[in-house]
Amino acid sequence: MRIGHIQLANRLFAAPMAGVTDRPFRQLCKRLGAGYAVSEMVTSRKDLWTSLKTSRRADHEGEAAPIAVQIAGTDAAMMGEAAAYNVDRGAQIIDINMGCPAKKVCNKWAGSALMKDEALALEIIEAVVAACAPRNVPVTLKMRTGWCASEKNAVRLARAAESAGIAMVAVHGRTREQGYGGDAEYDTVAAVKRAVSIPVVANGDIDSPQKARTVFAATGADAIMIGRAAQGRPWIFREIAHFLDTGEEAEPPRVADVKAWLIEHLGDHYRLHGEFTGVRSARKHIGWTLRGLPGGEAFRAEMNAIDSCEAQIEAVAAWFDALAESAPTMPTAPGAPTAATH
């Protein structure tokens, strides 16, 4: 699997998720089997580039290559500049967000809203490709199946994007109008795959090794991308890899390993976000990891009252040690959340 000239480790991708896939989480996913992980979206608004939030999003210190940065915006020239700016700061691949509603960053609906205005979408693609091509940086596109059920234009847009120089397209099998409701469908992803010769990535509702195999078979996609099911369960990537390789389910991870991964993740998380923000934003990762586990809910409530890094780590370690005494391997695989949390 390649994106332009860049070779990837495998065909299992972590989806970009604002507020979730910061550098520490991407690194963890990559360590646990993801071949590729895209940053949270970075705004094309120059006035925000130096803000703490955006600079944290553009922090790639120590991240395993390739570094892929997603940009969001509605103005072609600004998107071109944003691409160049991020390449200068280490991006090796630029991804254009046409897959997720991104109102906050632009004061206008960006992201998937662009699918409604194909002319503007293409103008943006051309500007970003023009900024990246001289730097030998491939540009990818993340989109949905279309605007609404009667306007599924993913195939047309993917063809136009390919002609304009896009190196890979990821398709979330829902329309923009659907939000996260209903089920993702894969027929449109399969149609996109048949229509273009660049790599196509299937995304939406892939939450188990079995589902991964079904989606590969249904779409012929070159890769799959996993978002919500990796929250609190980043080892899903290696579970999928194991199942695809052997046809057998991997053993659940050991509680001691999950504890070690989570504690290492928390350390990285605090280093990036600082104590005040870090302790608070880490709660969601801890909560996701505990989802469905015996006593997890009660611990979550207790943990929300903790506001120092040291105490949070200690509490998490003690909780997992207690769990390990009754169950050496993770008791049940916690389910993925059903709705977007942003």
Ligand X SMILES: Cc1cc2nc3c(=O)[nH]c(=O)nc-3n(C[C@H](O)[C@H](O)[C@H](O)COP(=O)(O)O)c2cc1C
Nearer to ligand X, 20 or 272 (CB): 20
**Contacts to ligand X from residues 165-184, by CB under 6 A:** 172
Catalytic residue among 29, 100, 106, 132: 100
Nearer to ligand X, 129 or 226 (CB): 226
The footprint of ligand X on this chain (CB under 6 A) covers a number of residues equal to: 25
1: closest CA among 41, 40, 34?
34
**Contact call for residue 73 and ligand X (CB under 6 A):** no
**Contact call for residue 342 and ligand X (CB under 6 A):** yes
Least distance to ligand X from the beta carbon of 134, Å?
Answer: 25
The H-or-E segment that residue 278 falls in is: helix 255-290
**Gap between the Cα atoms of 188 and 195, Å rounded:** 10
Contact 141, 196 (CB under 8 A): no
**Gap between the Cα atoms of 286 and 308, Å rounded:** 14
Rounded alpha-carbon distances, angstroms, from residue 107 to 30, 44, 95, 147, 317: 33, 11, 20, 19, 42
Which residue of 23, 30, 40, 169 would you call a contact of ligand X, by CB under 6 A?
Answer: 40
Choose the stretch contacting ligand X; rule: CB under 6 A; options: 55-63, 204-212, 267-275, 313-321: 204-212
Amino acid identity at 274: G
Question: Would you give the binding string for ligand X spanning residues 113-152, x where CB under 6 A is met?
Answer: -----------------------------x----------
**Contact call for residue 228 and ligand X (CB under 6 A):** yes
**Contact call for residue 104 and ligand X (CB under 6 A):** no
85: closest CA among 136, 112, 120, 45?
45
319: Cβ contacts below 8 Å, ≥ 6 apart: 290, 295, 299
100 catalytic? Reply is yes
Nearer to ligand X, 19 or 328 (CB): 19
E-strand stretches of 10-147: 12-14, 36-43, 68-72, 93-98, 139-146
Which residues make beta-bridge pairs with 2?
A: 7
Tokens 């769990």 belong to which residue? 323
Nearer to ligand X, 95 or 162 (CB): 95
Which residue of 15, 79, 141, 201 would you call a contact of ligand X, by CB under 6 A?
Answer: 15
**Contact call for residue 226 and ligand X (CB under 6 A):** yes
Please work out, in degrees rounded to the nearest 5, the angle formed at the alpha carbon of residue 238 by the alpha carbons of 274 and 64. Answer: 45
Which residue of 70, 153, 175, 188 would you call a contact of ligand X, by CB under 6 A?
Answer: 70
Choose the stretch contacting ligand X; rule: CB under 6 A; options: 124-132, 155-163, 202-210, 287-295: 202-210
Question: Token digits for 182?
Answer: 């209903």
Rounded alpha-carbon distances, angstroms, from residue 145 to 96, 219, 303: 15, 13, 40
Nearer to ligand X, 12 or 229 (CB): 229
Which residue of 12, 17, 164, 303 would you call a contact of ligand X, by CB under 6 A?
Answer: 17
Least distance to ligand X from the beta carbon of 19, Å?
Answer: 6
Least distance to ligand X from the beta carbon of 112, Å?
Answer: 8
Which residue of 227, 232, 234, 278 would you call a contact of ligand X, by CB under 6 A?
Answer: 227
319: closest CA among 232, 235, 258, 277?
258
Nearer to ligand X, 168 or 313 (CB): 168
Which residue of 206, 223, 258, 316 would you call a contact of ligand X, by CB under 6 A?
Answer: 206
Nearer to ligand X, 209 or 323 (CB): 209
Contact 195, 159 (CB under 8 A): yes
Binding stretches for ligand X (CB under 6 A): 15-20, 40-41, 70, 97, 99-100, 142, 172, 203-206, 226-229, 340-342
Positions annotated as catalytic residues are 100
